[in-house]
Amino acid sequence: MAGARAAIRYAKAVLSLTLDLNTAEAVNKDMKLITNTIADNKNLREALQSPVISSSIKKNILLEVFKNTNTSTLNLIDTLIANNRIDILGLVAAKYNQLYDKSKGIELATVTTAIALTDDLKKQVLEKAKQLTGKDVEVENIVDESIIGGFILRIGDIQYNASVANQLNKLKREFTLN
């Protein structure tokens, strides 16, 4: 992924600065907003990636969209514009969120299901993941209908696959081996 290493460096620098300024939590909220906004808005994504649109126009767009954000967030946008790296803003924001969670001892649990998790199921997954890791856990639900049913739980580099598709594949392998 182009720019991933640079994104990590920018994210580390911003996290270090915000921890010193005691604004890390506010900037984390800004970064979540930026990540979600860029992911959800195709036009914004394309504008940031476009070599045809000038940096000043990109900056004006971002300052208008994210006008109620922290000063450190606005400074990051200015720095990325100045260094011609504004195209990696979404990556920087996502990496910042990961680094912030890690600094707070929060683990991300990704649960892939065929349908969206209900609040009750989400609470059960949170409790189970907290038991497994001994850390605070944040749950992200990914809906993938190809798993047919069940779930796939991923916490860090641990994965538990209890999907119907996985069980069908195991049966298929057993029958082909015998």
Whether residue 1 is predicted with pLDDT greater than 60 in this model: the reply is no
Kindly state the average pLDDT of the residues 112-138: 86
Which position has the token pair 């990704």? 110
Quick one: which H or E segment has residue 109? strand 106-113
Per-residue model confidence as pLDDT tens digits over 15-33: 999 999 999 999 999 999 9
Q: How sure is the predictor about 133, in pLDDT bands with cuts at 50, 70 and 90?
A: confident
Closest CA to 92 of 173, 30, 154, 149: 30
Paired residues of 163 in beta bridges:
150
Q: Which domains does the chain have, with CATH numbers?
A: 4-102 (1.10.520.20), 106-177 (no CATH)
Task: Write the CB contacts of 173 (distance below 8 Å, at least 6 apart in sequence).
Answer: none
Structure tokens at 100: 């912030």
